């Protein structure tokens, strides 16, 4: 278990922890990780968009 490989700060882990599909995506694709980070920022500003982003 190498925390550095996840490229997430503790705060980001807490934010992303609520998105199980995000956690799975982070394990498999860096591109998806970047998209999810952007989505997390959007969701933090516009919580009502969360349900629209869950695939």
pLDDT at 7: 57
pLDDT at 35: 78
- Nearest-5° Cα angle at 12, 18 to 14: 40
Q: Walk along the chain (55 residues) and give the pLDDT tens digit of each residue.
A: 455 555 556 667 666 665 655 556 566 666 666 777 887 887 777 666 566 655 4
Contacts of 7 (CB under 8 A, 6+ apart): 30, 33
pLDDT at 38: 81
pLDDT at 34: 76
């Amino acid at each position: 278990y190498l925390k550095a490989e996840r490229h997430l700060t503790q705060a980001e882990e807490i934010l992303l922890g609520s998105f199980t599909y995000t956690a799975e995506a982070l394990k498999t694709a860096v591109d998806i990780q970047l998209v999810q980070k952007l989505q997390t920022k959007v969701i933090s500003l516009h919580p009502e968009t969360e349900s629209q982003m869950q695939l």
